[in-house]
Amino acid sequence: MELSSDQFDQLTQQIYQRLGLHFEDKKNYFLQKRVEKRMEALGLGDPQEYLFRLCYADPNGAEMQALANLITTNETYMFREYEQLEAFANCCLPEVLSAKQARGEQKLRIWSAGCSSGEEAYTLAMIVQEVFPQSQYWDCRIVATDIDENMLAHAVRARYWWRSIRDVPADYLDKYLVKDGDSYIVREKTASLVRFEHLNLHDRMAMRGMRSFDFIFCRNVLIYFDDRSRKAAVDHFYNSLNRGGYIFLGHSESVGRISSAFKLKRVESHLVYAKE
């Protein structure tokens, strides 16, 4: 079985439309292998039949979800999707801070939505302290939310094994983490910037309480939602952001596919979405 190039295009277009995930041509082999698995599970021999099932005979989205489970990864670790964080650290954060300073404001709010065991939230805390040392004099907070109480309990402990910190830059490692036996603990000064809260992204009334954020990170979370819930969550994120604020979904996820309310901006080699 071999996906022809037009079938590959049709597949990536469909994944983009339904999940907002973008796959480049060089991901041909990666997708091919995942599609093979799904075709085998469904007893299909021709990719054309699989594409029809995915595009036109998947009314409740079950097949797209099965494929999504194969093409996405649950793993979370600090400094995941490093280049996206560079865009945040080098361009978006300084821009927002400058605008605030010009207005005489000293308050910064970042939301890590669907924070799981907290790696992303602490990563953002490290970046804020590194890029903006004056943050200690500001009212800075990273609000990290998740639906899973067990994950939140894990996150609050701020203790991680090597696998979670393997991509932390060497100069950050000593500065922001301390080794304790076989694991690493986020230093108190950094951990204290983060506040963990329980939140269900499907709870519309609770979502309305999340207001006045400058940045929202919701990476690799919405891909597990159905179309309607994904749209509802992004609509809430729009309302939760201050004007001039930014939203970051996963590296290959597209905000524009889910909502047309945000403004697409190019930051270095990255495309980011802002609320104007």
Partner 1 sequence: MTDLEQCVQTLDSGEEPDRIYAAEDIGFANDAAGIPALLARLPVEPSRAVKEAIFAALLQIEDDGVVEGAVGLLDSEDSFLRNQAVELLRTLGSRTIPYLEAAFREGGPDRRKFVIDVVSRLADPSALRLCRRALHDSELNVVIAAVENAGNTRQVELREQIESMVTADAHPMLLGACIEALALIGSGASPEMVRSSFGGTERVPGYLRPSYLKLLGAKGSAEEVHEIASFAGVSALDSAVLNALTSLRNRYPEVAMPPQLAQPLRDMASKNPPQLAYHALRLLSGLIAETGIFDFLVARVDDPDKVIRIGAIQAVREGGGEAAEAALRGRLSGETDPEVLQAWGGKSAQ
* C-beta of residue 89 within 8 angstroms of C-beta of residue 123: no
- Least Å from the CB of residue 55 to partner 1: 7
Could you tell me whether strands 270-274 and 241-248 are parallel, antiparallel, or unpaired per DSSP bridges?
A: antiparallel
- Please report whether residue 58 would count as binding partner 1 according to CB under 8 A: no
Cα–Cα distance measured from residue 63 to residue 132, given in angstroms and rounded to the nearest whole number: 45
Give the residue, chosen from 2, 149, 182, 188, that forms a contact with partner 1 under the rule CB under 8 A.
2
- Least Å from the CB of residue 154 to partner 1: 24
- Please report whether residue 43 would count as binding partner 1 according to CB under 8 A: no
27/159 with CB nearer partner 1: 27
Stretch that binds partner 1, among 28-36, 110-118, 135-143, 248-256 (CB under 8 A): 28-36
The sign one gets for the Cα dihedral 126, 129, 132, 137 is: positive
3/143 with CB nearer partner 1: 3
* Ramachandran class of 44: left when φ > 0, alpha when ψ lies in -120 to 50, beta otherwise: beta
Got the DSSP string for 124-135?
HHHHHHHH-GGG
Residue bearing tokens 């203790």: 159
Stretch that binds partner 1, among 4-12, 105-113, 136-144, 179-187 (CB under 8 A): 4-12
- Interface with partner 1 (CB under 8 A), residue total 33
- Please report whether residue 161 would count as binding partner 1 according to CB under 8 A: no
90-129 binders of partner 1 (CB under 8 A): none
What the block records as the tokens of 34 is: 């995942």
Instruction: Determine whether 224 is exposed, middle or buried from the number of CB atoms within 10 Å of its CB (0-12, 13-18, 19+).
Output: middle
Give the residue, chosen from 219, 259, 273, 274, that forms a contact with partner 1 under the rule CB under 8 A.
259
185-224 binders of partner 1 (CB under 8 A): 204, 208
- Please report whether residue 162 would count as binding partner 1 according to CB under 8 A: no
Give the residue, chosen from 175, 231, 251, 270, that forms a contact with partner 1 under the rule CB under 8 A.
231
Residues 6+ apart with CB under 8 A from 264: 256, 271, 272, 273
- Least Å from the CB of residue 25 to partner 1: 4
* C-beta of residue 270 within 8 angstroms of C-beta of residue 81: no
Residues 6+ apart with CB under 8 A from 50: 35, 38, 39, 42, 44
- The residues of the shown chain that bind partner 1, judged by CB under 8 A, are 1-8, 25-26, 28-30, 33, 45-48, 52, 55-56, 59, 204, 208, 228, 231-232, 235, 238-239, 259-261
